[in-house]
Amino acid sequence: MSDIFLNIMDRTSIRNFVIIAHIDHGKSTLADRLLERTHTIEERRMKAQYLDQLELERERGITIKMAPVRMIYNVNNSGTPNSEYILNLIDTPGHSDFSYEVSRALEAVEGAILLVDVTQGIQAQTLANFYSAKKAGLVVIGALNKVDLIAHTNPLVLAETRRELAALIECEEGDILEVSGKTGKNMPILLDRIITRVPPPREGNAGPLRGRALVFDSFYDNHKGVVASIRVCGGTFRASDDAYLIGTKTRAKIKELGIFVPEMKPQDMLSDGEIGYIATGIKDIEKIKIGDTVSVFDDARVSKDSLSRYALLGYSEPKPVIFVSFYPEEANEYDLLRQSLQKLKLNDSALSIEPDQNEVLGRGFKIGCLGRLHFEITTERLRREFKIGVINTFPSVRYLVKVREKKEMIPIVKPEELPQEYIEIQEPMIALDIIFPRKYLSSVLSLQKKFRFSKMHTETMGERTKFSAYMPLVELVSDFDDCVKSVSEGYASFSYELKEYALADIARVDLLVSGKPIPGLSRFLPRESLEREARRMVEKLKDLLPRQQYTQPVQASAYGKIVARADIPAIRKELGAFGKNGGDRTRKMKLWKKQKRGKERLKERSDATISPAVFKELLKKE
Ligand code: GDP
Ligand code: MG
């Protein structure tokens, strides 16, 4: 059999698909059942949400990273042309802050299972993910999940959800599967559906190259160096080949190539349509770019200069919306922080990183994130995966400031950078969609003032209401998500898209402890709520900061005057060194000591230690 024939044979037995859904609708649990059914994981190694491999994912019960895994499925059903199929599944995160992960996974597959939790119905991310899958041209299989809970579900709601999902996907109601990730109900039917409905990968076109593949993800492995997750889009890659990255013009010998099971498993080759990885041994992390095209070619047949012609489309750059500065807790750990951030970026291409300076905190980095959860997860991953603690500033958005008529607007992220005199400030806006059962309409409307909604509009979607409004992006940094959840008893969900800038009536507020400004605690606040917010922050800080041997005044200043004040009383007896920073007890001893030193260093310089937990508390609205 010729090589080419072999590859074509291979391709028809491959199915590449993702599982997409709103957060907590059961993607990772459904993936468990598929892993079991296909005997991919030995029984004794099986654990819930197996593909959530990061410690943080397991602890928080959420998926942060997409996770590819190859499964082999033996079909005993005579209706399918092949008896054995290669199923490449990519599990995806549900939270909107990680939508860049989802969008990249979509480009590596042909099909999507769209799950809807029957007890929750269609939610904002169900819609957002569905539209992304449709835009990527994927075949979508709709499934109602958690049907083991049907006894607790109103049958009318179930029928309605089925109708809505069928209408969304534009399929027959009878085509919507009922599954349970808990009991494994209807897994054989789901697997059959994947094989019969999801097309095998189209024959790729490598042109004169021997192999061409899309880099859809990457990570750093301590033994293998930089590893690129790839989807082959034409030709083959062999373990003995030299790989060439077209975008970064980098040649490297392939050290190892293989598939995810979900751990890395070496193979001899990867062919057209397959999903796998190549480890290149490249040391310079900058050389691997997500969305780049990796190729193999014969120098005799192709000139390097003509290669850009064969580059795949890749991905559009993610747009960071929230900016925060990170400084190492220990000044001598600046280089470690830089390296750690680079490695993290390799695995989280949505992060943007720029060098930064702060008078008190020294050298650091300005980080751009896709949302508040993304920012929190970033600090946590630094701490756990790289054992480095950071001091951070208030998360901010990018404002535009006009200093003089007819002059260009200046982008400003840090309140400290706001010029003394300016004509106007503009802030980024988002168009927000909130979806919830009808009865919560008035509760959702009650958020209008607090979060500065404008251009409001409501629409009926069956049993649910879709509420649309404009909101300043910066409101997302506060506890908007918690408030939406609490006013709707957990039944509302939202998605948003960035819109244009609008005139903002905001001012800069600084916080001072014992008369000294606390670095990173300055922030922009809307003028109408400035005094109230300032008072609240001062009261909160008073409670959150550790007491000292003497009374410490906490003050807020805006437009050159003090707008709020509270005193931290003195203590007579030494308290626990960490006050209310929370969660410290479980940390490793080494890190604990390091942080203690770092905090002491900060304390010497500014009298106050601000942990991310304190920031989070301060950001809450009441
Ligand atoms: P993901 O965020 O979509 O990946 O959701 P997970 O798979 O992490 O599941 C979220 C929660 O729903 C977990 O507590 C699961 O145990 C639970 N869950 C998932 N599938 C089912 C199901 O079919 N039935 C029931 N009763 N619970 C489920
Ligand atoms: Mg998950």
Query: What CATH number did the domain enclosing 295 receive?
Result: 2.40.30.10
Does residue 81 sit in the same domain as residue 189?
A: yes
Does residue 421 sit in the same domain as residue 482?
A: yes
Task: Give mean pLDDT, residues 272-277.
Answer: 95
Does residue 178 have its Cβ closer than 6 Å to ligand 1? no
Q: Which of 22, 25, 29 to mutate to test the pocket of ligand 1 (most atoms within 8 A of CB)?
A: 29
CA of 69 to the centre of ligand 2 (A): 14
Whether the predicted pLDDT of 260 surpasses 60? yes
Does residue 465 have its Cβ closer than 6 Å to ligand 1? no
pLDDT of residue 76: 73
pLDDT of residue 241: 92
- Dihedrals φ, ψ of 567, to 5°? -115, 135
pLDDT band at 620 (very low <50, low <70, confident <90, very high): low
pLDDT of residue 150: 80
DSSP secondary-structure letter at 487? H
Contacts 24+ apart (CB under 8 A), 157-165: 157/118, 157/121, 157/463, 158/118, 160/121, 160/462, 160/463, 161/116, 161/118, 161/121, 161/122, 163/462, 164/121, 164/122, 164/461, 164/462, 165/114, 165/116, 165/122
Does residue 183 sit in the same domain as residue 241?
A: no
Task: Give mean pLDDT, residues 298-320.
Answer: 83
**Which ligand ends up closest to the CA of 22?**
1
Rounded CA gap, 24 and 118, in Å? 12
Q: Which of 385, 275, 319, 375 shows the shortest CA–CA distance to 100?
A: 319
User: Is 202 a member of any domain?
Assistant: no
Domain containing 114 equals 11-197
DSSP E strands, 473-609: 493-504, 506-513, 516-517, 523-526, 552-558, 561-568
The last residue of one of the domains, among 155, 170, 197, is 197
Interior angle at CA 621, CA 620 and CA 622, nearest 5: 120
Which span out of 5-9, 294-298, 334-338, 357-361 was modeled with the highest average pLDDT?
334-338
pLDDT band at 3 (very low <50, low <70, confident <90, very high): very low
Q: Which of 53, 47, 22 shows the shortest CA–CA distance to 32?
A: 47
Does residue 27 have its Cβ closer than 6 Å to ligand 1? yes
Percent of the chain with pLDDT over 70: 89
Does residue 481 sit in the same domain as residue 370?
A: no
pLDDT band at 1 (very low <50, low <70, confident <90, very high): very low
Does residue 290 sit in the same domain as residue 360?
A: no
pLDDT of residue 310: 85
Whether the predicted pLDDT of 259 surpasses 70? yes
Whether the predicted pLDDT of 599 surpasses 60? no
User: Is 326 a member of any domain?
Assistant: yes
Tokens 């990730």 -> residue = 181
Tokens 């999902």 -> residue = 165
CA of 344 to the centre of ligand 2 (A): 20
**Which ligand ends up closest to the CA of 31?**
1
Does residue 180 have its Cβ closer than 6 Å to ligand 1? yes
pLDDT of residue 576: 46
- The CATH number of the domain holding residue 348 is 3.30.70.870
Instruction: Check the CA dihedral 44-47-50-53 and report its sign.
Output: negative
User: Is 515 a member of any domain?
Assistant: yes
Does residue 119 have its Cβ closer than 6 Å to ligand 1? no
Does residue 26 sit in the same domain as residue 151?
A: yes
pLDDT band at 590 (very low <50, low <70, confident <90, very high): low
CA of 100 to the centre of ligand 2 (A): 15
Average pLDDT along the chain: 86
Number of independent structural domains in the chain:
5
Whether the predicted pLDDT of 554 surpasses 90? yes
CA of 385 to the centre of ligand 2 (A): 20
CA of 492 to the centre of ligand 1 (A): 18
pLDDT band at 210 (very low <50, low <70, confident <90, very high): very high
Q: Which of 13, 33, 139 shows the shortest CA–CA distance to 87?
A: 13
DSSP secondary-structure letter at 175? G
Whether the predicted pLDDT of 286 surpasses 90? no
Does residue 28 sit in the same domain as residue 148?
A: yes
Task: Give mean pLDDT, residues 17-45.
Answer: 94
Task: Give mean pLDDT, residues 509-535.
Answer: 86
Nearest CA to ligand 1 atom 25: 146
The last residue of one of the domains, among 342, 361, 395, is 395
CA of 25 to the centre of ligand 1 (A): 6
Closest ligand 1 atom to Cα of 62: 2
User: Is 82 a member of any domain?
Assistant: yes
Does residue 63 have its Cβ closer than 6 Å to ligand 1? yes
- Buried/exposed code over 106-132 (b: 16+ C-beta within 10 A; e: otherwise): bbbbbbbbbbbbbbbbbbbbbbbbbeb
Does residue 65 have its Cβ closer than 6 Å to ligand 1? no
- Dihedrals φ, ψ of 190, to 5°? -65, -45
Nearest CA to ligand 1 atom 22: 146
Does residue 229 have its Cβ closer than 6 Å to ligand 1? no
Rounded CA gap, 129 and 96, in Å? 9
pLDDT band at 11 (very low <50, low <70, confident <90, very high): confident
Does residue 67 sit in the same domain as residue 38?
A: yes
Does residue 28 have its Cβ closer than 6 Å to ligand 1? yes
Whether the predicted pLDDT of 378 surpasses 60? yes
Nearest CA to ligand 1 atom 24: 146
CB 364 within 8 A of CB 327: yes
Whether the predicted pLDDT of 528 surpasses 90? no
Does residue 93 have its Cβ closer than 6 Å to ligand 1? no
CB 320 within 8 A of CB 370: yes
CA of 68 to the centre of ligand 2 (A): 12
Does residue 26 have its Cβ closer than 6 Å to ligand 1? yes
- The CATH number of the domain holding residue 547 is 3.30.70.2570
Does residue 49 have its Cβ closer than 6 Å to ligand 1? yes
Does residue 273 sit in the same domain as residue 387?
A: no
Percent of the chain with pLDDT over 90: 53
Does residue 145 have its Cβ closer than 6 Å to ligand 1? yes
User: Is 1 a member of any domain?
Assistant: no
Task: Give mean pLDDT, residues 300-319.
Answer: 82
pLDDT band at 574 (very low <50, low <70, confident <90, very high): very low
CA of 52 to the centre of ligand 2 (A): 7
pLDDT of residue 322: 92
Task: Give mean pLDDT, residues 40-51.
Answer: 91
Q: Which of 24, 59, 95, 101 to mutate to test the pocket of ligand 1 (most atoms within 8 A of CB)?
A: 24
pLDDT of residue 9: 46
Does residue 92 have its Cβ closer than 6 Å to ligand 1? no
Does residue 159 sit in the same domain as residue 303?
A: no
- The CATH number of the domain holding residue 464 is 3.30.70.240
Which span out of 92-101, 149-158, 260-269, 280-289 was modeled with the highest average pLDDT?
260-269
Whether the predicted pLDDT of 269 surpasses 50? yes
User: Is 440 a member of any domain?
Assistant: yes
Does residue 23 have its Cβ closer than 6 Å to ligand 1? yes
Does residue 592 sit in the same domain as residue 494?
A: no
Rounded CA gap, 213 and 288, in Å? 13
User: Is 622 a member of any domain?
Assistant: no
CA of 92 to the centre of ligand 2 (A): 6
Express each pLDDT in 400-428 by its tens digit: 999 888 788 999 998 888 887 889 999 99
Closest ligand 1 atom to Cα of 48: 16
CB 412 within 8 A of CB 468: no
Q: How far is CA 598 from CA 330, 472, 478, 592, in A?
A: 5, 35, 27, 10
The last residue of one of the domains, among 440, 469, 504, is 504
Does residue 4 have its Cβ closer than 6 Å to ligand 1? no
Which carries the bigger pLDDT value, residue 207 or residue 555?
555
Whether the predicted pLDDT of 63 surpasses 60? yes
pLDDT band at 174 (very low <50, low <70, confident <90, very high): very high
Task: Give mean pLDDT, residues 363-390.
Answer: 92
pLDDT band at 544 (very low <50, low <70, confident <90, very high): confident
pLDDT of residue 584: 46
Closest ligand 1 atom to Cα of 145: 23
Whether the predicted pLDDT of 583 surpasses 50? no
User: Is 218 a member of any domain?
Assistant: yes
Does residue 364 have its Cβ closer than 6 Å to ligand 1? no
Does residue 163 sit in the same domain as residue 181?
A: yes
- The CATH number of the domain holding residue 120 is 3.40.50.300
